[in-house]
Structure formats: structure tokens, C-alpha cells
Structure 1
Amino acid sequence: MDFEYSAKVKDLIARLEAFLDEHVYPIERQREAWLHDPANLWQPWPGVEKVKQAARDAGLWNLFLPHEYAPWSPGLTNLEYAPLAELMGRVGGGSEFFNCNAPDTGNMEVLAKYGTPAQQERWLRPLLDGAIRSAYVMTEPQVASSDATNIETSIVADGDDYVVNGRKWWISGAMDPRCKLLIVFGRTFEEGARHQRHSMILVPHHTPGVEIVRPLSVFGQYHSPGGHAELRFNDVRVPKENLILGEGRGFEIAQGRLGPGRIHHCMRSIGQAQRMLEYMAHRVEERVAFGRKLSQQGSIRQDVALSFCEIEQARLLTLKAADAMDRHGNKVARDLIAAIKIVAPKMAQLVGDRALQAHGGKGVSGDTPIAGLFLTNRYVRLTDGPDEVHMAQLGKLKIEEYTGKPLR
């Protein structure tokens, strides 16, 4: 087991760090101020395309797409991508500058792995170019969607078309004016095996019958420009060639999509935790209370030490999961993917809480990125499945594994 990054990855890390220093950190607060101004609601920050073009020119583009997806992939493994995603994750929403942002990454992987040549030409190419955005449409308000067999939205064949009817919510990115594609998960069959009743279909966002009911706020914020929307599909008609892979294969596609997406969230959470720890170290070294620097207080040093230990533990588990995905595939690595999805955002939330406490009032303000990163990791514990679902799955897997072997 080699813990040293390859020369290729070290070079990419150095180039990415330099890019962040030159193009991203200097505009971070300006961009945040723009996105939180009600006058700019649902409009992208005007400088985003300039930074994206600079990233593309620097060869820091679409780094997420695993090497097996030739010819679109830059050739990285999940393990090689991990430290790069960690760096991109240090800035909230920063992955967009490199075209490595959810939900587009997962949607591009679906199209690269399962799409027909026609689907890839129409949708994958503009997504890879960063010319459009997309949304993944799965969660529903009236059922517990963490058990996706509950999904009720219907995808019913009618002549040369499918007709989509249903209600969805927490559809990330759907408010963005650049969002042109919806990948919809819905029910095609009422009978048969539970995991073979659902399908996925490509729905152009502005198809007649697609209704934006309302945007949803997260901790009082709208997360403009993409946001999270409640949608209604009212007899939405799309041609049959928009179906992905085949009828009843929705779960098969979903499992292929969600594994990488989950670990990408964790990579970014580790970068966010690392940044919050660094802010904490600077803060406690420069502040004096009761005649001593905060950094000289034993409890503060303990918080810094524990945070370092927890970040390193999560980082190593992330790398192990990424390596298992590369070596054995997402299905075999599902226990490690579940484990890190449980561990990483909770760890980042804990580190963020310590950093907030060390900063005092400044920590909950907009003067540092800590408050935003802390809140991000609270809702990441729900995205792509809540903690409880991953723990239930992981516990079941481990019980089966351990009881299938004799005790020694």
C-alpha cells in the first residue's frame, strides 16, 4: 500500500492550488455577496464563465469523470481525483469552476455509461462543455424517498411517447436558467420485482407540462442560482428514445450514479473541514483572552488536535473507498462508500462547530467561510440518502458478512 500520490497527481494538486489562489479565493466573497443579493435571485454570478474558461485553458476541466469513460474522460481514477475534489470543495460551490459540480457530474456519468449515441450527442456534449446545467429528479414529498421503491411519479408508454405525471421536490439546480435537462426517476410498472418497476427518462426542462411549483429554502437560504425546487409533471410527453437503457432499469442506473456522487460529497467535505481547521488555527493564534493567547489554552489545543485526527481518519477512509471503487467496482465497494458517507459530513460538521466556537461571534458571520461550510455539511448528511439509510445498509452487509464465516 503506497500512501504517496503519483507525480501526475502531485502536478495536478500544485496546478489546482495555484489556480485557486489566483482565480477563486480572491473572488469568493464577491461571488457570495452577489448570490445572496435578492436582486440577483436565480442569476449566475457574472464572472463565472470567465473563471470556467480559465480552468479549461489550464487543463483543470471535467477531472471527475473516471478513466473508463473514454473518450470524454481526462483519464483519472477515483483515487487520483480524491485530493483534487478535496481542494475544489474548500470553496462553497467552487466545483462549478472546473465543471465538477453536482448534480451535473452524476448526470454526465449516467449519460456516458448508459446513454445512446444520440442522447450523448444532444445532452452529454454540452454538459461536458459546461454550456448547460442539469438536474436529477427523484425525491417526492408524499413518500419516504430514501426507500426509492416508494417513488410514485409515473412514466407510462403511450404510442411513440412516454407520459410523465407526478410531484417532485428538493430538485437541486432546477431554478438555474442554464438548466436545460431533467433526468427523471419514475414508476413504469405496478407489478413485478420491486427493483424492476422504475425507469429513468430524459426530459427537456421546458417541455410543456413541467411546472415549477416553488423554490425551497435551506436554513433560510435559496442557494441561488441553482436552488432546490418543487416540481410538478402534468402529462409531460417525451419521445420514447428519451428513455435511458430500458424500461424497469431505473435502479440499475441509480446505483451506478449514486456511488461516485456520494464519495464526491465526502471528498469535498474533507476539504471543507481542513479549511475550517486552518481558519481555527489562525484565529486562536491571533486572539488574546484573560492575558493568554487562545492557542495556549489546553482545551483549544485539544480541539485542534482532535480535529486533525478526525480529518485524517476520514481522508484515509475516503481514499480507501476510492481505491476499492477503482479496483473492484462500485458494487463491491458499497460498504466503504456507505461508511465514508456516514463519517465525512458528520466529521466536517463537528470540526466546523469547534471552529465556530473558537471564532466567537465572527464564526457565525459572513466574514469567514466557516458558517456556510458548517451548514453545508449538515444538509449533506441528507443528500444522496440520510445517515440512517446508509447505516442500515452497512449494518446489514456486515452482519451477513460476519455471520457467514465461522467464529475463531
Structure 2
Amino acid sequence: MDFAFDARTEELRAKLLTFMDEYVYPAEAVAEEQRDLLASPWDTPAVVEELKAEARRQGLWNLFLPDSEYGAGLTNLQYAPLAEIMGRSPHLAPTATNCAAPDTGNMEVLTQFGDEQQRKQWLEPLLAGEIRSAFAMTEPEVASSDATNITTHIERSGDEYVITGRKWYISGAMNPDCKIFIVMGKTDPDGDDIRRQQSMVLVPRDTPGVTVKRAMRVFGYEDHSHGGHAEVIFDGARVPASNLIGEEGGGFAIAQARLGPGRIHHCMRLIGMAERAIELMCRRAVSRTAFGKALAQQGVVHNWIADARVTVEQLRLLVLKTAWLMDTVGNKGAHTEIQSIKIATPRAVVDILDRAIQLHGAGGVSQDFPLAELYAAARTLMIADGPDEVHQRSLARRELKKYV
């Protein structure tokens, strides 16, 4: 396993690091100020559009997409260190470079499973950053950690599909630029194979019967940068049968294909969050005095910083190994490692952020530092894309099979 960065990765890292220093970090406070003046809290601040234009000008655009016809054509191992850098400002940098979820996963789905018309109508404007999208799978009435539980109905009616159901925590749905939903529901609820009951369809936001009912908060945050998280009602919404993605019964498999790359993206961005936290810890420790000496001279602070550095180095190696395996043996061959990073990374980064907040005192839970919002994002990823316990169950069963 050779994790040395190749020439293209080094070039993109250098450009991205400069972009972060010159454009993204200075824009963080500006975006918050502009958001306070917007007519709707879900509108996009002007500085975000400026960042997008600059990122595209510099070639820092669609870096996540391995398909060279549509994206940068990077491998997982090449993209991983770039996602880490973007994770240092997770509420701005991914959006600025058109690498923000849920659009990334939706573009991957359309690239792999969409037909020519679907790609032209929806993938192309997503790739251009002209529209946003949402992925509607999670439901409030069932344990959505088991995707076979979903109850939304997708019923064939002549040349149309009729969608009826209730979804929530649908990321991006509050953004007025969100024009399309990828909706997962059951087309064959009584089918013998529970993993062939589900299908995915494209549902334009303005379809009659689609209601974005309310914004869902996360630890009190509305998460404007991702376009919010919404409860969405589908009440007999009708779309052409041609809006089916792939085949009937293929929804579960598509969801699994979508989540594999997404998990490694999340984990690399989490490492970026941890690096930002370590930087803030160190700056705080050398600039604050308590009980007659700098915080940097307190033994417990030494332990926090040292433990954080060790943890980040360990996590990074595991995530890079996972990226390398995904590139060499595929997602199925990297299943154990994908689950391992999904379990290990959020909980470790939550711990690092918790120590960073503690070191900042009242400032750590305030809006004057990014730590509280980073904590909320990291803690949420212990649930998103499958809660830890689901991955632990699957990983343990795979280990036990070796001995049974």
C-alpha cells in the first residue's frame, strides 16, 4: 500500500490549500453576516456564489466524481486528502467546489444509473452548480436504519408513478435552488425478496402533491449551508414512468452503491474538522493564561493535544487504506474497512471537538468559534448513513463467520 500523493494530487492539494486560505476562511464570517440580511434564511449568500465562480475558474470543481466524462476523474485515494482539506470548513468549502452532499451522491447515482434524458435534464445542471438536489429516504414512522422498513409507496398507474409517503431529515430540501428529489419507496411491498421491493424515482420539487412542510433542526442548528433538512410530504405526487432510475426493484442496490463513496467522503471531511479543532486548541492554549501560566503549560492540555494528534494520524491511515482498497478491489472488497471508518471516525472526532470546546470555555459553545457547529455536524454523522450500531452488527457478524 503506497499512500504517497501522486503529482496530480499534490498539485490539487496545493491549489486547494491556497484557495482555503485566500477565499474560504475569510468568507466564513462574511457568509454569516450576509445571511442575516437575506429575505429568507435559506437563500444563498452572495459570497458563496463568488466562491463557486472562483473555484470553478481554478479547476477546483466536481473533484469528488471519479467519472472523467463528468468530473475530475480522481480515484478515491486521490480525492481523500482533498476532502480532508475541505472538511476544515465543512459548511462552505464543499459547496464552493460543488462537492457537497447530498448533491454528490445524487450526481453519482445519475452518472451510474440514470439514462441519457435523466442525465441531460438533471445531472448536467447539477454538475454546473446551477441547481441543488435532495435524497429522500429517511422516514419518521419507521426505523430507517433498516432501509427495508420504508413505507413510502411508489405505485405504477399507466404511464406514471404515484408517490405517497412522509419523509424527514431530507438534506438540502429547504434550499430554494433544490429542484429535484431522488425518492426511495416501495414499488413491490409484498415481494418475496425484501431487498427488491424498493425503487427510486426522480420527483421535481414543483410536482403537485409535494409539500416541503418544515425545516428540521440538528442540535438546534438549521444547517443553512447544506440547504437545511426538511420534512417532506408526498401526497399522490405523479411523475412520468420515465422518471424511474434504473429498474423497478433496484432501489436498495442503488442506495448501497450511493452510500459507499459517501461514507469515505464524510470520514475524510471529519478528519479535516479534527485538524481544525487541533489548530484552534493550540492557538487557544498559547494565547490564554489561567492560574498564573499559559494553558499550553497545563499538563492536561498537553494530553488533550497529544491524544488528538495520535488519533488523527491513526484515522487518516485507516481511511487512506480504505480508499486504496475501494480503488483496487471495489466497494464490496473494502466493506470491512468502510464500516470500520464509519464507526471509528465520527466518535473519535466528536471526542476531539469536545476537548477543544472545553479548552475554549464559554467561547467553545458560542457562535464566535466554529467548534459547536462542527461538534453538531460530527455527532450527527454517528447516525447519518447508517447509525454506528448497524455497522457494528454487520462487522461483528462478518468477523464471527470466520469461526462458526
Give the CA deviation at 1:2: 2.2
Aligned to 1:290: 291
In 1, the alpha carbon distance for the partners of 2:172 and 2:16 equals 25
How far the C-alpha of 1:367 sits from its partner, in A, is 1.8
Residue 175 of structure 2 corresponds to which residue in structure 1?
176
Q: Give the match for residue 49 of structure 2.
A: 49
Residue in 2 aligned with 1:71?
Answer: 69
Query: Cα offset for 1:40?
Result: 3.7
- Distance in structure 1 (CA, Å) of the matches to 2:221 and 2:361: 22
CA distance in 1, matches of 2:332, 2:300: 42
> Does the alignment pair 1:140 with 2:139?
yes
Hey, what's the Cα distance between the residues in 2 that align with 1:38 and 1:373? 23
> Who is 2:236 aligned against?
235
Pair 1:152-2:157 in alignment: no
Cα deviation digits, residues 345-376 of structure 1 (max 9, x gap): 11111111111111112111122211111111
Report matched runs for 1:370-389 at 5 Å.
Answer: 370-389=371-390
Q: In the alignment, which residue of structure 2 is the partner of 1:330?
A: 331
Deviation at 1:8, TM superposition (A): 1.4
Q: What corresponds to 1:84 in structure 2? A: 82
**Structure 1 range deviating more: 97-106 or 46-55:** 46-55
Equivalent residue of 1:341, what SS? helix
TM-superposed deviation, 1:258: 0.5
2:184, 2:201 within 8 Å by CA — same for their partners in 1? yes
Could you list the runs of 5+ residues in structure 2 that have no partner in the other structure? none
Task: Tell me the distance in 1 between the aligned counterparts of 2:273 and 2:352.
Answer: 9
Determine if contact 2:195/2:252 at 8 Å carries over to the other structure. Answer: yes
Does residue 107 in structure 1 map to residue 106 in structure 2?
yes
Shift of 1:287: 1.4
Do the aligned residues in 1 keep the contact of 2:208 with 2:237 (CA within 8 Å)? yes
Contact between 2:38 and 2:45, CA under 8 Å: does it hold in 1? Answer: no
Counterpart position of 2:352? 351
- Secondary structure of the residue that 1:230 maps to in structure 2? strand
- Root-mean-square deviation (CA, aligned residues, Å) is 1.3
SS in 2 for 1:274: helix
Post-superposition Cα deviations, 1:160-203, rounded to whole Å, max 9, x if no partner, equal: 11111111111010010000010000001122201001000001
Structure-2 change in CA distance of 1:37 and 1:171 (3 Å): farther
What CA deviation, in whole Å up to 9, does each residue of 1:275-319 have, x standing for no partner?
A: 100110111112122222111111111110000011111111111
- Alpha-carbon distance in 2 for matches of 1:338, 1:17: 29
AA aligned to 1:82 is A
Tell me the alpha carbon deviations over residues 147-172 of structure 1, each in whole angstroms, 9 at most, x when there is no partner: 01111101111101111111111101
Query: For the residues of structure 1 that align with 2:45 and 2:173, how far apart are their CA atoms?
Result: 16
For residues 205-263 of structure 1, what are the alpha-carbon distances to aligned partners after superposition, in whole Å with 9 as ceiling and x for unaligned? 11000012211111122122611111111111111111011000101101110011111
* Partner in structure 2 of residue 247 of structure 1: 248
Aligned to 1:306: 307
Q: How does 1:183-202 map to 2 (within 5 A)?
A: 183-189=182-188, 190-202=190-202
The 4+ residue runs of structure 1 with deviation greater than 6 A are none
- 1:36, distance to aligned residue in structure 2 (A): 6.0
Matches of 2:326 and 2:356, distance apart in 1: 33
Residue 256 (str. 1) matches residue 257 (str. 2): yes
Letter in 2 for 1:333: A
* CA deviation string 1:30-54 (max 9, x = no partner): 2134446785411111221111011
Structure 1 residue 92: deviation in Å? 2.9
Indicate if the aligned counterparts of 2:90 and 2:269 stay in contact, CA closer than 8 A: no
Q: In percent, how many aligned pairs have the same letter?
A: 51
1:382, CA displacement in angstroms?
1.0
Q: Residue type of the partner of 2:145?
A: S
Q: Secondary structure at the match of 2:88?
A: coil
Specify the SS of the correspondent of 1:328.
helix
SS in 1 for 2:248: coil
Amino acid of the residue matched to residue 340 of structure 2? A
SS at match of 1:85: helix
Tell me, what secondary structure is at the counterpart of 2:46? coil
Is 1:277 the counterpart of 2:275? The answer is no
Is the Cα contact below 8 Å between 2:218 and 2:376 reproduced in 1? no
Q: Does 1:212 align with 2:227?
A: no
User: Is residue 117 of structure 1 aligned with residue 113 of structure 2?
Assistant: no
- Structure 2 SS opposite 1:196: coil
1:36–1:224 Cα contact (<8 Å) kept:
no
Is the contact made by 1:146 and 1:386 (CA closer than 8 Å) also made in structure 2?
Answer: yes
Q: Name the CA distance, whole Å, in 2 between partners of 1:49 and 1:56.
A: 11
Distance in 1 of aligned mates of 2:398 and 2:337? 11
Structure 1: any 5+ residue segments left out of the alignment?
A: none
Query: Is the contact between residue 30 and residue 47 of structure 2 (CA under 8 Å) also seen in structure 1?
Result: no
C-alpha distance in structure 1 between counterparts of 2:329 and 2:306, whole Å: 34
Q: Distance in 2 between matches of 1:342 and 1:33?
A: 36
TM-score (norm 2): 0.97
Between the aligned partners of 2:310 and 2:156, the Cα distance in structure 1 is 54
The question of whether the paired residues in 2 share the 8 Å contact of 1:92 and 1:372 is answered with no
What is the CA–CA distance in structure 2 between the aligned matches of 1:372 and 1:38, rounded to whole Å?
21
Equivalent residue number for residue 127 of structure 1: 126
